[in-house]
Structure 1
Amino acid sequence: MSDQPPIRVKSIDHVTIVVKDLNATRRFYVDVLGMEEVARPNFSFQGQWFQAGATLIHTILEFEGSSPAGFTACANLRGHHFAFLVDDCRASAKRIEQMGVPFVSPPKQRPDGAIQLFINDPDGHLVELCSN
């Protein structure tokens, strides 16, 4: 055993995804989900950062030194995804419909009473929105 204290994770700082089109990604995360694009350091590769509450979404434009854009290995809702807490999932669903974004799974109630829906971003990353 170590004399060092245990690591205590405080929160998720950021999630990074690889994308094919920065403009399409910006439209999805800013126009559809209402995030704010924030300043990004001048890395040697292209990308953008979006503020999602206390968490950042980092995007990297697909290039020779990155992994492939998107994630399509899982075709169901019990695979890789990330979730955002919203004020009202059903109201968010109406806005998503108005924006022409198709549902992977429309709003439904979970066993714990929360409401959740699933959509894909332009690169196929599965995104959950949920509310209590």
Structure 2
Amino acid sequence: MSDVDPTECVQVQAFDHITLVVKDLEAARKFYVDFLGMDQVPRPAFSFEGHWYQIGGQQIHLILEHDQSGAAGQADVEPNTRTHHFAFQVQNANQAYAQALQQGIPIVSPPKPRPDGATQTFVNDPDGHIIELCSLGS
């Protein structure tokens, strides 16, 4: 319980989007659309290339690496489950792992149970971003 007066806080209303810098928009599209099943959605006409993908009420914004962006990926991060990552809830983490193996998606960690009862597996996208795929009861 916080002692902060809620009228003194920003009061976040919802999670809106994640932005990732990538080296290859087509390789990223294959991962986020063909493997994860996201929908590509229209993107405003920014002065730099990118793609937007919809996940329920949230989005992933991909920016093509350029001279004014940050570096693509997480090349300086040792791939493991206890570093910078984000998670997507999936129907079945064990099936997601099997599909990742079948499609040659780099695996960071095979499926394992979380203490809350969910199952989690970790993969890399084409730029090395670490992504947890988790499911309840599978």
TM-score (normalizing by structure 2): 0.89
Residue 58 of structure 2 corresponds to 55
Give, in whole Å, the separation in 1 of the partners of 2:102 and 2:8: 50
Give, in whole Å, the separation in 1 of the partners of 2:36 and 2:46: 25
Q: Is the 8 A contact 2:106 2:125 kept in 1?
A: no
Q: In the alignment, is residue 119 of structure 1 matched against residue 127 of structure 2?
A: no
Residue 83 of structure 1, aligned match among 76, 82, 87: 87
Q: In the alignment, is residue 109 of structure 1 matched against residue 117 of structure 2?
A: no
> What amino acid maps onto 2:45 in structure 1?
N
Give the number of aligned pairs.
132
In the TM superposition, what whole-angstrom CA distance separates every residue of 1:61-112 from its partner, at most 9, and x where no partner exists? Answer: 0000100111133212111111001111112122222212131101111112
Name the % identity.
Answer: 53
Q: Which segment drifts farther, 48-57 or 58-67?
A: 48-57
Give, in whole Å, the separation in 2 of the partners of 1:73 and 1:88: 30
TM-superposed CA distance for 1:5, in Å, is 4.7
Residue 11 of structure 1 corresponds to 14
Consecutive unaligned residues of structure 1, counting only runs of 5 or more, are none
TM-superposed CA distance for 1:59, in Å, is 0.4
Partner SS state of residue 42, structure 1: coil
Q: How big is the alpha-carbon RMSD for the aligned residues of Structure 1 and Structure 2?
A: 1.8
TM-score (normalizing by structure 1): 0.92
